[in-house]
């Protein structure tokens, strides 16, 4: 079941409110846009509130966004920008949805259970996808799809997009044969025993090296 997420925002004056000043006051700069909006709305939301909403909603859940205390608008978190050094969120994009128009979304994958090929055979789990592309109406949005790892019993097994259990009103837009996850055999590095010729060559090199730099014995002429 998709959780209900609400968020409060305030209008900001783009020319007067500089982004760094907004962040210093504990707010996050944001923008709202959508197909039926005449112009973008520049907003600010409390960074703590946004972080909580993002943790629950992700980018595939409807958010009830209230601006300046007015009646809420149905939006999705369309994009999140992070500082490349500090990795903290510095800006957010909200998209106002039309409940009658389908959305192109990325649904997060939720990996459940333990693969026998890892537990019993000592293999290494390899994830090829963390999300899957889909299309649906806003009212049919789902916050995740489960990937059951218990089916990975051998190194030949894989979980593909076609194995996902998807609600009827959600359409996956990727190749259904695309593998999501598999288990790779962990091979130990084996060192080959040196041949007789290699052993002899090694001994000769040791002798040559040990003979270098020796002082001439008494009576011997030094070259």
**Cα distance from N-terminal residue to C-terminal residue, the chain:** 91
Distance, in Å, from the CA atom of 53 to the CA atom of 133, rounded to the nearest integer, reads: 22
Per-residue confidence (pLDDT) for residue 212, from 0 to 100? 58
What's the rounded mean pLDDT across residues 155-173?
96
Per-residue confidence (pLDDT) for residue 59, from 0 to 100? 76
Per-residue confidence (pLDDT) for residue 210, from 0 to 100? 61
- State both tokens at 9: 């925002």
Q: Measured in whole angstroms, how far is the alpha carbon of residue 108 from the centre of its chain?
A: 9
Whether residue 139 is found in the same domain as residue 88: no
Beta carbons of 92 and 58 less than 8 angstroms apart: no
Per-residue pLDDT of 178-203, as tens digits, reads 999 999 998 765 556 666 666 667 66
Per-residue confidence (pLDDT) for residue 77, from 0 to 100? 93
- State both tokens at 80: 């999140």
- State both tokens at 193: 């025993």
Distance, in Å, from the CA atom of 146 to the CA atom of 165, rounded to the nearest integer, reads: 7
Per-residue confidence (pLDDT) for residue 183, from 0 to 100? 96
- State both tokens at 129: 């996808």
What's the rounded mean pLDDT across residues 158-184?
96
Mean pLDDT of the chain: 86
Per-residue pLDDT of 81-101, as tens digits, reads 998 998 899 999 999 999 999
Whether residue 113 is found in the same domain as residue 161: yes
Tell which residue, 194, 144, 192, has the closest CA to residue 167: 144
Whether residue 13 is found in the same domain as residue 44: yes
In a domain, 208, yes or no: no
Match 């218990």 to its residue by tokens.
150
Q: How confident is the model at residue 47 (pLDDT cuts 50, 70, 90)?
A: very high
Domain termination residue (choose one: 58, 75, 97): 97
User: What CATH number does the domain containing 177 carry?
Assistant: 2.170.120.20
Q: How confident is the model at residue 207 (pLDDT cuts 50, 70, 90)?
A: low
Per-residue confidence (pLDDT) for residue 169, from 0 to 100? 94
Whether residue 9 is found in the same domain as residue 90: yes
Per-residue confidence (pLDDT) for residue 82, from 0 to 100? 92
Per-residue confidence (pLDDT) for residue 1, from 0 to 100? 47
Whether residue 67 is found in the same domain as residue 123: no
Beta carbons of 5 and 53 less than 8 angstroms apart: yes
Helix (H, G, I), strand (E, B) or coil at 198: helix
- State both tokens at 4: 């209900």
Confidence check: pLDDT of 127 > 50: yes
Tell which residue, 78, 68, 71, 80, has the closest CA to residue 44: 68
Query: What is the length of the chain?
Result: 223
Q: How confident is the model at residue 36 (pLDDT cuts 50, 70, 90)?
A: confident
Q: For the ranges 13-22, 122-131, 160-169, 202-211, which has the lowest average pLDDT?
A: 202-211
Whether residue 52 is found in the same domain as residue 15: yes
Express as a percent the part of the chain with pLDDT over 70: 81
Distance, in Å, from the CA atom of 77 to the CA atom of 62, rounded to the nearest integer, reads: 8
At residue 152, φ and ψ (nearest 5 deg) are -85, 85
Domain termination residue (choose one: 80, 97, 114): 97
What count of Cα atoms within 13 Å lies in the side-chain half-sphere of residue 50? Answer: 25
Domain that holds residue 49: 5-97
In a domain, 198, yes or no: no
Domain termination residue (choose one: 71, 97, 123): 97
User: What CATH number does the domain containing 38 carry?
Assistant: 2.40.240.10
């Amino acid at each position: 079941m998709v959780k209900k997420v609400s968020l409060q925002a305030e209008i900001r004056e783009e020319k007067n409110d500089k982004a760094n000043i907004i962040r210093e006051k504990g707010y996050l700069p944001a923008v709202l846009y959508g197909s039926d909006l005449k112009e973008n709305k520049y907003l600010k939301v409390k960074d703590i509130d946004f972080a909580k909403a993002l943790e629950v909603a992700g980018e595939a859940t409807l958010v009830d966004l209230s601006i300046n205390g007015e009646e809420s608008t149905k939006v999705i978190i369309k994009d999140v920008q992070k500082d490349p050094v500090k990795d903290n969120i510095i800006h957010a994009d909200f998209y106002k949805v039309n409940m009658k128009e389908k959305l192109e979304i990325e649904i997060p994958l939720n990996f459940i259970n333990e693969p026998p090929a890892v537990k019993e055979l000592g293999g290494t789990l390899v994830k090829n996808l963390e999300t899957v592309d889909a299309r649906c109406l806003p009212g049919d949005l789902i916050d995740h799809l489960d990937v059951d790892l218990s089916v990975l019993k051998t190194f030949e097994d894989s979980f593909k997009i076609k194995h996902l259990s998807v609600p009827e009103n959600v359409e996956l837009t990727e190749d259904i044969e695309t593998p999501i996850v598999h288990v790779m055999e962990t091979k130990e590095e084996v060192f080959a025993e040196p041949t007789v010729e290699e052993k002899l060559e090694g001994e000769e090199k040791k002798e040559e090296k040990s003979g270098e730099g020796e002082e001439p014995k008494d009576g011997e002429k030094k070259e």
